[in-house]
Amino acid sequence: MPSPEQVRAVVDDYLASFSKKDRNAFLACFADDAEQVDPVPSPPNVGKEAIGQFWDNVAGMADKMEPLLDRVHVCGNEAAVVFTMNARSGEGGSAIDIVDIITVNDDGRIASLRAYWDPAAIRPLT
Amino acid sequence: MPSPEQVRAVVDDYLASFSKKDRNAFLACFADDAEQVDPVPSPPNVGKEAIGQFWDNVAGMADKMEPLLDRVHVCGNEAAVVFTMNARSGEGGSAIDIVDIITVNDDGRIASLRAYWDPAAIRPLT
């Protein structure tokens, strides 16, 4: 069982990887056999190759990503992460409210991530 | 698969059952074989008898419960519900920030509920 500090640390690393737009830092958060669903109910990305493709798709759509953290609730080896992702491209940009449910393994890596957000709720950044 | 409107409706009914302090309305939100974990990682309450005992414990601790909804993200047959629960007793009271992940069955009832909140984060109501 990871400690609450380990759970919180990988959540922070995960969010920071977006701010830094750092693919390696993003992938380093995940276990080798991690399962990621983003957003629910899309098919899972299993393993670092699939999760890396997800990163490439997301990072390719924005010059800059700014995750704005609202709350983290650490519960055992899980965390509920409530945040807003701002994505900027050129003069424009978009914002989306997200809840991630993250399960962390004994090594402090993400074993599963399920992201709850509604594509219809994406709004322009003002 | 329940419609987004069905998912949203049972979330609203669930929250309203606390406002009304209505045990029957609360239990009517759940499928007969529903599994409830509140908070993660406590052992699951399975079925209406166990979930009714959870209600009795919670309702016995407060004269009045006020769920303040922040966001609902409906994703397929699931919803992420971000809210704060204010509980008042006599002159005092407490508040706790919660994220519920709710899975809804084809009948529009809650099949599973996982509540993410940290007992150490309960704060006095001002």
Longest dimension (CA), chain B: 45
What string of pLDDT tens digits covers the 126 residues of chain A?
Answer: 999 999 999 999 999 999 999 999 999 999 999 999 999 999 999 999 999 999 999 999 899 999 999 999 999 999 999 999 999 998 899 999 999 999 999 999 999 999 999 999 999 997
B38 neighbors B54 (Cβ within 8 angstroms): yes
**Chain A residues with beta carbon closer than 8 angstroms to that of B11:** none
User: Distance (Å, rounded) from C-alpha B81 to C-alpha B72?
Assistant: 5
Domain boundaries, chain A: 4-124
CA angle A26, A28, A29 (to 5 degrees): 70
Nearest CB partner across the interface for B80, out of A75, A76, A116: A116
Which residue in A71, A74, A114 has the most chain B C-beta atoms within 10 A of its own C-beta, making it the best mutation to test that interface?
A71
**Chain B residues with beta carbon closer than 8 angstroms to that of A40:** 75-76, 78
Size of interface A-B (CB pairs under 8 A): 64
Q: According to CATH, what is the number of the domain A4-124?
A: 3.10.450.50
Distance from CA of B91 to the nearest CA of A (A): 28
Supply the DSSP symbol for A38. Answer: S
Nearest CB partner across the interface for A118, out of B39, B75, B77: B75
Give ipTM to 2 decimals. 0.96
pLDDT of residue B126: 72
Quick check: bond before A4 cis, omega within 30?
no
The class of domain B4-118 in CATH terms is alpha beta
